């Protein structure tokens, strides 16, 4: 999981996942928050606040605003598995 990779401190991944899931229902926006944060808790808080103001800016900042966003996610997170 990307969150565990970016936030490796014991117990932090669950807390980060909870914050991200409360910030947005869309998995695309949740991914954008995590990508914008880049493992930095301060940047995570900023991304969550930005999402509350205008989620589209969160997508732009993470590079997930264009039609190629599924490919971009695959590059960052790996292809989805069922």
| Helical packing angle, 69-77 and 27-37, nearest 10° | 50
Establish if 63 belongs to a structural domain.
yes
Contact 6, 52 (CB under 8 A): no
Give the model's pLDDT for residue 82: 54
Give me the number of domains the chain comprises: 1
> Rounded mean pLDDT of 6-27?
94
pLDDT above 60 (res 59): yes
Name the average pLDDT for the chain: 92
Q: How many CB atoms lie within 10 A of CB 26?
A: 13
Answer yes or no: is 82 within a domain.
no
Would you state the pLDDT for residue 80? 65
* Domain membership flag for residue 81: no
**pTM as predicted:** 0.89
Is 80 exceeded by the pLDDT of residue 81?
Answer: no
Domain, as residue range, for 71: 2-76
């Amino acid at each position: 999981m990307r969150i565990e990779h970016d936030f490796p401190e014991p117990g932090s991944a669950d807390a980060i996942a909870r914050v991200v899931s409360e910030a947005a229902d869309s998995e695309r926006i949740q991914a954008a928050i995590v990508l914008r944060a880049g493992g930095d808790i301060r940047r995570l808080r900023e991304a969550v606040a930005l999402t509350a103001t205008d989620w589209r800016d969160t997508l732009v900042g993470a590079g997930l605003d264009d039609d190629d966003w599924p490919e971009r996610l695959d590059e960052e997170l790996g292809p989805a598995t069922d």
